[in-house]
Amino acid sequence: MKISESGLIGKSVPRTDVIDKVTGCAVFVDDIQFGPSLLHSRLVRSPYPHALIKRISTKKAEELPGVRAVVTGKDLTARLGLYLIDRPIFASDRVRYYGEPVAGVVANTEDIAVEAAKLVKIDYEVLPAIYDPVESTQPDAPLLHPDLGSYTVANFIFPEPGTNISEHFKIRKGDVESSWSNCAALAEGRFSLPPIEHVPLETHTSIALSEKSGQMTLWASSQSPFAMRDMIAQCLGIPHNKLRVIAPLVGGGFGGKAGVTMEACAVVMAQAVEGRPVKLRLTREEEFVGTSVRQSLVSEIKVGCDKDGNLLAMELTYYFGGGAYNDYGVNIARAAGYSCTGPYDVPNVKADSLCVYTNHPVGSAMRGFGMPEIHWGLEQIMDQLAENIGMDPAEFRLKNCVRTDDEIVTGMKMTPIDLEACIDKVSKAIDWEKKEQPTAPNKKRGKGIAIMWKAPAMPPNPGSAAVVRFNEDATVNVEVGGQELGQGSFTIAAQIAAETLGVPYNSVTVSSPLDTKYSPYEWQTVASRLTWSMGNAVKAAAEDARTQILETVADHWGEEVDDLTIKDGLVISFKSEREQPLDKMVIYGLPNEDFEGWKGGPVIGRGHFMPTYVTNLDPETGQGTRAVVHYTVGAQAVDLEVDLETGQLEVLNIASAYDVGRAINPDLIMTQIEGGAVHGMSSAFEALKFNESGEVLNPSFVDYRIANIADIPRKIHGDYVETPIGDGPWGARGVGEHVMVQTAPAIANALYDAVGIRFSDLPLSADKIYLALERKNETG
C-alpha cells in the first residue's frame, strides 16, 4: 500500500458519515419532518401486464372525505427518458407491466389514500403479453410501442420502429465466418437470467411541494438529483431553475435510484395540491413490483480457439428483456455490445446486442450495468472452451485475457490494467491447484474462477463539478453533486480535498443533502464514476482554492508562489521558512505589509471535470478510436460445496482481486469488495417470479430472498492491484460495481467442477440443482 506524501491518499481514514449512522442521526428522506401540512399519497397500479385503458373513473375516490386530489395521465402527453424518451408518468392509454402507475391519490392521511385508491375504477381491455426477449423480436409478437418511431432518442441509440427492438448495437470486426475452420476447439451455449431487483433497505420515497410562485421542490431518495431534475423538468416543461431536487443520504441504491422511478408521480400529484407537500413512500411490496429491475437476458455465444488455446473468433447475440420502457435499458444493451467479448483478446468478433420491449417491469441500471448479465454466459463458455482444448481454466484466462495497449473489440487501445495479477492473486488466495475434500460424505466440493471487465457506461461527456469553500477557522466545506449511497464517496471527496489543500482530514466536511439549488453539477452517481470523475473535480476545486491562498500569501510576503506550500493548515515558505496559519486569512485576506489596504478575500475554489476524448462508434461495425474512458478489471475465485441430499449449495470462500488504479482509501475498497461478493453470490439465487398473467409472485422478503447473515461464505477474501490510469485522481478508477459482476458465473463454474453439470439459467435454486443431480444419476 502506497501512502501519499501528506499521508492521506492511500490511507484508510474513517468514513465522514459513520458517527451519524451509528447514532441514528443520519437523515434519509422519510426522516424529514414536514409537520401537519404534509399530505399523503398512494399510486393505483395496473393489475395487468398488457392492456388498453378504456375508462378511468375517479369520481368515487374524489368524493371520499379527506381526499385532496386524484390525478391520472389524461392531460400528460409528454414522456420521460434519458436515452429514449418512451415512458409516461402515469399510463393513460395502455399499461405495459403489472404494477404500472395509472393514477395517484392525495389525501390527508395514508389510510384515506389507501381507501381512495381502491375507489378509482379503471376498465381495461386485456392484451396478449410477451415476456421472453427472443420471442419479442419475432414478427408475430404483440407490439408494445407502436409509436417507437416518433420517440426522441440519443444519437448513439438505434431503435427499430415497427418492432419491439429499442436498440440494436453491432460489432463487426475481422472475419468470424472464415475463422471457425481455423479453430481447434469450439464452445457454444445459450444462457439466460431473469429480472432481479436492487433491494435497497430504504424503499423509494419522495416528497414534492409545488408553490404558487411556480417553484417545485422535490425531496427524493436519489442517486442522481441532477439527472432527475433534468428528466422531470423536460417532461413537465418546468424551467430547471424552478425545479429543486433535494437528496439526503440514500439508504442503498445499486442503480435502482438512478434516473427517475416514481418521483415524477409525486411531482404531478403535488401540482394538484399547490402549497402542500405530498409524500409518496413505496411499501416493500411496491419496491419489488413497481420499481426498475436488472433486465433479463438471453445470450447465445459461440467461441473458438486454436490448438494452443488462443482465442480466434467469437459470435454473440444478446437479447436484453428491457421490460415495458427502455428509456435507460437501451444504454445497457449498448454497453453490453461494446464490451461484448468480456476481458479477452479476440481478433474476430460478430456481435448483436439488442434491447427488446417485454411486459416486465422497467429494466434499468443495476450494479454492473449489463456486465453481470453478459459475464454469466461468457465466463462459463470460456470454461467450456478451456475444457474442450484441454487447458486449466485459470491458465486459459491468463493466456487470453486483455492486456494494456491491446486493441480491444471496438478497436480502442486498452487503458492500463493488470488482469493477470488479479488472476494470480485470487488463484493463490483460493489455493487453485489444490483439490479440497468435502466437509461431509454427502457433499461434493468444487472451485471455479471468473474474470471481468467493465467501463463506466455513460454518454461520452458526463460532467462533474465541485466547490471548495473555506470558513473563518480554516475548516472546509466541500460541495459536490455526487451522492453518498454507502460506497463512501463523501469520504473520498474529503480525503482528496484535504490532501490537495494541505489541511487536516477532519477539518473537511462534505455538504449533505445534495440540493440542485446549491450543489454543483454532477451527472449521476452511477457507473462507478465518482472517485474518478467527481474526484477529479474536487481535486481541481481544491487546487483552485490552494492557488488563491498561495497567491495571496506570496503577494503578502513578496515571494513566489512556487516557493510556498500548505501543510497541516499552515502556509510555509521553503525559501524564507515563514509560516502563515490559514484561519481568518481564508476569509478576511491579509493586510498589505504597510497596512495600507488588504489582499485576498473569501476563498472559494471551483473545479470541474468532463471527459472530452470519447469518440463515436460506427453504427454498422461498432468500431472507433475510443469507445469508453477506461476499463476496470478483476478476478474472482470461488470454493463451494453442494449437498447431494438437498441440492443446497454452500459457498465456502470467495476470493476477489480488482485493479483499482490507485487505492485512495484501501479499507473502503475492501468494504466494496466484501459487500459486492455477497451481493454477487446472492444474485445467483435471486429472481423476480411471475405467473402466466404477469403478476409478480414474490413481492416480499419472505419469497424474494436476499442473502442474510447466515448465508455468507465462511471466508471472504479481498485484494487489489494498482495500475494507475492517466485521467483519474492519483491514477484511481472506480470499483463499486465490478465486485459482483462475475460472482454468479464463478459459482456456476465451481458447481460444474463439483458435480459435472452446467447450469446455464439463473437462478441456481437448490430445487433445480437437486433435480438435475437426480437426472444425471438416472442417466448415468
Partner 1 sequence: MLARPGLPDFEYIRAETPQDVFRLLGEKGDKIKLLMGGTDLFIQMRDRSEGAEILLDVKYLPGMQEINFNKKKGLTVGAAVTLNQLSIHPDVKTHYGILSQSADTVGNYQLRNRATLGGNLCNASPSADLAPAALVYEGTVCLTGPDGNRELGVDEFMIGPGKTALKAGEFLTGLHFSIPPPDAVGQYLKLGRSKKGDLAIVGVAVLGYSDSEVPSGFRFRIGLNSTAPTPYRVPQAEELLAQNQITEEILNQAADEAMKVSAPIEDVRATALYQKKMVRNLTFKSLKEVWDLLKKS
Partner 2 sequence: MAIHAISLIVNGTKEQVQVPSNMTLIHTLREKLGYTGTKNGCEAGECGACTVLVDGEPVNSCLVLAVEMDSKEITTIEGLADSGQLTPLQEAFAELNAVQCGYCTPGMLMAATALLSRNPYPSEGDIVEALVGNLCRCTGYQRIIDAVQKASRNGGAR
* Contacting positions for ligand FES (CB under 6 A): 201, 252, 486
CA distance 476 to 548: 14
CA distance 653 to 747: 10
- Selected from 1, 22, 594, 691, the binder of partner 2 by CB under 8 A is 22
Contact call for residue 439 and partner 2 (CB under 8 A): no
Give 84's DSSP letter: B
CA distance 522 to 538: 11
- Selected from 1, 77, 702, 726, the binder of partner 1 by CB under 8 A is 702
* Angle between helical axes of 489-501 and 535-557 (0-180°, round to 10): 20
The distance of closest approach from Cβ of residue 740 to partner 1 in the complex, given in angstroms and rounded to an integer, is 19
Give the residue with the Cβ less far from ligand FES, 574 or 701: 701
Nearest C-alpha neighbor of 221 from the set 239, 247, 254? 247
The distance of closest approach from Cβ of residue 291 to ligand FES in the complex, given in angstroms and rounded to an integer, is 16
Which region holds residue 527: left if phi is over 0, alpha if psi is between -120 and 50, else beta? left
CA distance 727 to 16: 26
Stretch that binds partner 1, among 403-411, 554-562, 696-704, 725-733 (CB under 8 A): 696-704
Phi first, then psi, for residue 313 (nearest 5°) are -150, 155
For the record, the C-alpha cell of 236 comes out as 413537465
For the record, the C-alpha cell of 72 comes out as 391520472
Encode burial over 255-265: b for 16+ CB neighbours within 10 A, e otherwise: bbbbbbbbbbb
Q: Whose CB is nearest to ligand FES?
A: 201
Strand extents, DSSP E, 73-138: 94-95, 101-107, 121-126
Stretch that binds partner 2, among 182-190, 321-329, 486-494, 540-548 (CB under 8 A): 486-494
Give the residue with the Cβ less far from partner 2, 413 or 714: 714
Contact present, 223 and 525 (Cβ < 8 Å):
yes
For the record, the C-alpha cell of 341 comes out as 467479448
CA distance 358 to 370: 17
| Partner whose binding site includes residue 440, from ligand FES, partner 2, partner 1, none (CB under 5 to 8 Å by kind) | none
Give the residue with the Cβ less far from partner 2, 111 or 274: 111
Contact call for residue 17 and partner 2 (CB under 8 A): yes
CA distance 100 to 520: 34
Q: Cα–Cα distances in Å, from 67 out to 39, 51, 61, 117, 457? A: 10, 28, 7, 10, 43
- Cross-strand pairs, 622: none
Contact call for residue 23 and partner 1 (CB under 8 A): no
The distance of closest approach from Cβ of residue 631 to partner 2 in the complex, given in angstroms and rounded to an integer, is 24
| Partner whose binding site includes residue 699, from ligand FES, partner 2, partner 1, none (CB under 5 to 8 Å by kind) | partner 1
Q: Where are the alpha helices (DSSP H) in 369-452?
A: 371-389, 393-400, 419-430
Phi first, then psi, for residue 394 (nearest 5°) are -70, -40
The distance of closest approach from Cβ of residue 252 to ligand FES in the complex, given in angstroms and rounded to an integer, is 5
For the record, the C-alpha cell of 328 comes out as 435507460
Contact call for residue 45 and partner 1 (CB under 8 A): yes
Give the residue with the Cβ less far from partner 1, 508 or 644: 644
Nearest C-alpha neighbor of 552 from the set 602, 605, 607, 590? 590
Contact call for residue 250 and partner 2 (CB under 8 A): yes
| Partner whose binding site includes residue 340, from partner 2, partner 1, ligand FES, none (CB under 5 to 8 Å by kind) | none
Contact call for residue 710 and partner 1 (CB under 8 A): yes
Q: Is 458 helix (H, G, I), strand (E, B) or coil?
A: coil
The distance of closest approach from Cβ of residue 711 to ligand FES in the complex, given in angstroms and rounded to an integer, is 15
Contact call for residue 440 and partner 1 (CB under 8 A): no
Binding mask 624-653 for partner 1 (x = CB under 8 A): ---------------------xxxx-----
| Partner whose binding site includes residue 774, from ligand FES, partner 2, partner 1, none (CB under 5 to 8 Å by kind) | partner 1
Give the residue with the Cβ less far from partner 1, 109 or 547: 109
The distance of closest approach from Cβ of residue 115 to ligand FES in the complex, given in angstroms and rounded to an integer, is 23
The distance of closest approach from Cβ of residue 551 to partner 1 in the complex, given in angstroms and rounded to an integer, is 57
| Partner whose binding site includes residue 423, from ligand FES, partner 1, partner 2, none (CB under 5 to 8 Å by kind) | none
Residues 6+ apart with CB under 8 A from 449: 393, 394, 397, 423, 426, 427, 430, 432, 635, 636, 637, 638, 746, 749
Strand extents, DSSP E, 308-425: 311-323, 348-357
Stretch that binds partner 2, among 56-64, 196-204, 299-307, 319-327 (CB under 8 A): 196-204
- Selected from 1, 702, 726, 780, the binder of partner 2 by CB under 8 A is 702
- Determine the longest span between alpha carbons in the chain, in angstroms: 98
Q: Look up 285 and say whether it is catalytic.
A: no
Q: Where are the alpha helices (DSSP H) in 193-328?
A: 225-236, 263-272, 284-290
CA distance 622 to 639: 38
Contact call for residue 52 and partner 1 (CB under 8 A): no
CA distance 742 to 744: 6
Q: Is 731 helix (H, G, I), strand (E, B) or coil?
A: helix
- Selected from 703, 714, 756, 775, the binder of partner 1 by CB under 8 A is 703
Give the residue with the Cβ less far from ligand FES, 3 or 201: 201
Give the residue with the Cβ less far from partner 1, 134 or 652: 652
Stretch that binds partner 2, among 24-32, 356-364, 374-382, 545-553 (CB under 8 A): 24-32
- List 63, 274, 737, 778, catalytic entry: 737
> In the 3-class helix/strand/coil scheme, how is 269-294 assigned residue by residue?
HHHHCCCCCEEEECCHHHHHHHCCEE
| Partner whose binding site includes residue 202, from partner 2, partner 1, ligand FES, none (CB under 5 to 8 Å by kind) | partner 2
Contact present, 324 and 362 (Cβ < 8 Å):
yes
> What is the distance, to the nearest Å, from the Cα of residue 215 to the centroid of all Cα atoms in its chain?
30
Give 141's DSSP letter: S
Contact call for residue 37 and partner 2 (CB under 8 A): no
| Partner whose binding site includes residue 646, from partner 1, partner 2, ligand FES, none (CB under 5 to 8 Å by kind) | partner 1
Of residues 271-290, which lie at the interface with partner 1 (CB under 8 A)?
281, 283-286, 289
Interface residues with partner 1 (CB under 8 A)?
42, 45, 47, 99, 110-111, 114, 118, 281, 283-286, 289, 645-648, 685, 689, 695, 697-700, 702-703, 705, 707-708, 710-711, 765-767, 770-771, 774
Interface residues with partner 2 (CB under 8 A)?
14-15, 17-28, 30-31, 33, 111, 199-203, 249-254, 283-284, 485-488, 667-668, 671, 674-679, 700-702, 706-710, 712, 716
Catalytic residues, which ones?
737
